[in-house]
């Protein structure tokens, strides 16, 4: 648990106590933690990574950080982007330049691979995650 002391800092001047966490977030049932189903996790991520949700954005766009992105939050600056796109049959240079859009199947495959990789990484970092 992290303790927060509200003092004279301007950032906390209007707060009497720390804000409460959301009541019914994706992992909360009231205030009790709950297990997310994989489909729910994918929908939650997709809705936060793409204005098109699970459909993704087939055309390259700049994300909120100005990073060229495609699909469901697929960062085109990442080191393995060209290999990952080639793995789903897409031409990295054409996609990045905006000359070619991804298909729905390509978007879905990239997203599923990233979610699977993130779950493996999370399990390695957090024993008993499941």
List helix spans (H) across 9-88.
38-49, 81-87
> Which token pair is 51?
């204005």
> Which token pair is 66?
């100005």
Going residue by residue through the chain, which has 130 residues, state the pLDDT in tens, using 9 for 90 and above: 333 333 443 443 444 444 454 455 555 556 566 677 888 888 888 888 888 888 889 999 999 899 999 999 999 999 999 999 999 999 999 999 999 999 999 999 999 999 999 889 988 998 887 7
**pLDDT at residue 128, rounded to an integer:** 80
8 A C-beta contact, residue 69 and residue 102: no
**pLDDT at residue 5, rounded to an integer:** 36
8 A C-beta contact, residue 70 and residue 59: yes
d(Cα 90, Cα 93) in Å, to the nearest integer?
A: 9
8 A C-beta contact, residue 117 and residue 82: no
**pLDDT at residue 127, rounded to an integer:** 82
8 A C-beta contact, residue 110 and residue 88: yes
d(Cα 50, Cα 124) in Å, to the nearest integer?
A: 27
d(Cα 74, Cα 106) in Å, to the nearest integer?
A: 11
């Amino acid at each position: 648990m992290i303790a927060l002391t509200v003092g004279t800092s301007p950032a906390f001047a209007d707060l009497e106590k720390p804000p409460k966490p959301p009541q019914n977030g994706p992992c909360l049932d009231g205030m009790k933690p709950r297990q997310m189903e994989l489909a729910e996790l994918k929908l939650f991520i997709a809705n936060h990574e793409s204005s098109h949700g699970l459909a993704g954005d087939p055309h390259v766009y700049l994300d909120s950080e100005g990073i060229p992105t495609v699909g469901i939050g697929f960062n085109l600056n990442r080191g393995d982007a060209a290999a990952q796109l080639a793995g789903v049959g897409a031409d990295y240079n054409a996609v990045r330049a905006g000359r070619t859009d991804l298909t729905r199947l390509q978007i879905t495959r990239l997203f599923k691979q990233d979610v699977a990789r993130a779950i493996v990484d999370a399990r390695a970092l957090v024993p008993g995650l499941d």
